[in-house]
Amino acid sequence: MLMRILHGLLLLSISGLALAAEDRVFDVHVHIWEGEKSVKEYLGQLQSAGQDVAGFGGIHMAVLGKLDHTRAKNDDLVALSKRYPKLMPIASVHPYDGEAAFAELARLDALGVKAIKLHPHTQKFDAADERVLALCKRAGELGFVVLMDNANILPGDNQKLFNLALATPKTHFVFTHLGALEFRFWNILPLARTAKGLMENNIHFDIAGTVVLLADSPLEDEFVWTLRNVGIDNLLLGSDFPQMSLKQGVDALERLPLTEEEKRKIRWENASRLFSLEDLKSPAKPTAPR
């Protein structure tokens, strides 16, 4: 009898573990505007919403010419990732800072940082500028994943980012918000992939905010069609905290008419592969998918 109970308990805990793995969520888009205060607010919001997170990308964005500030903020993120192991630091440089930006990239590489964020609108630069191209190329050589805002606030956003990714085939990009309301552009990808030698599979997206807006909207079917066209394997979930909560993003994704497997990939598996999350805490650089 005791053995039966023990066996039952074992089965229960195994299925519990399986469920936990199914439900894992990585939030790639969390703005850490105010250091530890932001981290605590983010975790507090998750707790009150009853939303678990397996890991999250904490984002900083560098200001042009403020080199000491940039280094300090990047160091702050790395320090926070030691205290909060779920936090993956997404550091930043400014593409117009020239050699200093390259030096900071090398320093971040030595610190084990795996990703940087660039934001043409917030950081006030042109995504088509040669300096952006050079920086993204270098970032890719060092193995960084480059997140870039793709909310189409600036004219030509999609087109510039697409050409940037074509020009730097060894750099893995995450274009955040998947073009927002201009998401239709990215349906060009399945056709572009048929052009021999044109592109690598280096374009990924997060669906932060956009998924909240488009779930249950008149555009929902077209959005789901787009998700499959750009490739379910290329999609990550993000909240864009503090503008939106992770719970909003998870719930919106759940409402989309996707399969369970597709949702699981978007919630966790794709991020896990792209950022080698199993060694989130080790300083070694990821080997896959490069």
Q: Which is nearer to Zn ion, 81 or 176 (CB)?
A: 176
CB of residue 74 to Zn ion, shortest distance in Å: 17
d(CA 53, CA 28): 11
Annotate each residue in 31-70 with x if it binds Zn ion (CB under 5 A) or - if it does not, as one string.
----------------------------------------
Distance in Å, CB of 27 to Zn ion, minimum = 11
Please say which residue, 46 or 90, places its beta carbon nearer to Zn ion.
Answer: 90
Select the span of 135-143, 240-248, 258-266, 274-282 touching Zn ion (CB under 5 A): 240-248
Other Cβ atoms within 10 Å of 97 Cβ, number: 20
Plot region of 65 (φ>0 → left; ψ -120 to 50 → alpha; else → beta): left
- Extract the tokens encoding 248: 């909003």
What does the longest C-alpha to C-alpha distance in the chain come to? Answer: 73
> Binding segment for Zn ion among 70-78, 181-189, 228-236, 238-246 (CB under 5 A)?
238-246
State the residue for tokens 């192991």: 85
| Rounded Cα–Cα distance for residues 126 and 280 (Å) | 32
Structure tokens at 80: 């926070």
Q: Which residue is nearest to Zn ion (CB)?
A: 240
Residue 45 Cβ vs Zn ion, minimum distance, rounded to whole Å:
16
Nearer to Zn ion, 149 or 262 (CB): 149
Instruction: Write down the least CB distance from residue 149 to Zn ion, Å.
Output: 7
Which residue number, 241 or 262, has a Cβ lying nearer to Zn ion? 241
3-class DSSP state for residue 179?
A: helix
Which C-beta is closer to Zn ion: that of 240 or that of 262?
240
Q: How far is the CB of 117 from Zn ion (least distance, A)?
A: 8
| Least distance from Zn ion to the Cβ atom of residue 206, Å | 9
- Kindly tell me which of 240 and 269 has the beta carbon lying closer to Zn ion: 240
CB 175 to Zn ion: min, Å = 12
* Distances in whole angstroms, Cα of residue 53 to Cα of each of 88, 95, 174, 214: 12, 32, 20, 23
Which of 29, 126, 46, 111 lies closest to 73 in space, CA to CA? 111
The verdict on 240 binding Zn ion (CB under 5 A) reads: yes
Least distance to Zn ion from the beta carbon of 29, Å?
6
Q: Do 59 and 117 contact (CB within 8 A), yes or no? A: yes
**Contact range with Zn ion by CB under 5 A, out of 5-13, 88-96, 235-243, 257-265:** 235-243
Query: How many residues touch Zn ion (CB under 5 A)?
Result: 1
Segment lying near Zn ion (by CB under 5 A), choices 92-100, 161-169, 232-240, 279-287: 232-240
Identify the burial level of 187 via C-beta atoms within 10 angstroms of its C-beta, where 0-12 means exposed, 13-18 middle and 19 or more buried: middle
Give the distance from CA 97 to its chain's centroid.
24
What's the token pair of residue 272? 């896990």
Footprint of Zn ion (CB under 5 A): 240
